[in-house]
Amino acid sequence: MTYYVITNGTYSDYSICAVTSDKEKAERLKVLYSDKYDEAYIEEYEEADDSDFYSKKDSTDLIFSVEKVLGPSKLSIENCFFGREDSYTYSVELNDVVDYGMYTQVYVSAKNEEEAFKKAADIFAKYEAEKEGL
């Protein structure tokens, strides 16, 4: 099903005025929400297929930022990016440890926090061993 979203404004002034599945009604609403300063627009969107979403959700990992603080070797998840691995666009590479002195950080791709902790612990152990020259 197609949905028609009537919008107005730009940037911080951008807003959604109405949503309908009737194209003729969308045209009438566009006129209603336009004025001499701003013309309203109609944006068209197709209804998402739930089965496609769930299959992607199950097969694609989330991106987790895992930090290890100097001192007690406790790992903590500071961020979970809800973008999927296939849309990952951060400047730090996955699985590369960044050492900030008081803590180290690594971005890992995982299905859940438990898997993220395990992956990060393995990466930190390898990093520390290489740092010690082992």
Please tell me which residue, 64 or 80, carries the higher pLDDT value: 64
Which of 4-8, 13-17, 53-57 has the highest mean predicted lDDT (pLDDT)?
A: 4-8
**Same domain for 120 and 62:** yes
pTM value is 0.47
Q: What is the mean pLDDT of the chain?
A: 76
**Same domain for 115 and 60:** yes
Whole-number pLDDT of residue 7: 92
Domain range for 62 is: 56-131
**Same domain for 127 and 61:** yes
**Same domain for 75 and 12:** no
What is the per-residue pLDDT across 30-71, written as a single tens digit (0 to 9) for each?
A: 999 998 888 999 999 887 765 555 454 455 567 777 777 765
Whole-number pLDDT of residue 82: 45
**Same domain for 113 and 64:** yes
Q: How confident is the model over 79-106, as a mean pLDDT?
A: 64
What are the C-alpha distances in Å from 58 to residues 52, 61, 71, 117? 10, 8, 36, 19
The domain tally of the chain equals 2
**Same domain for 126 and 66:** yes
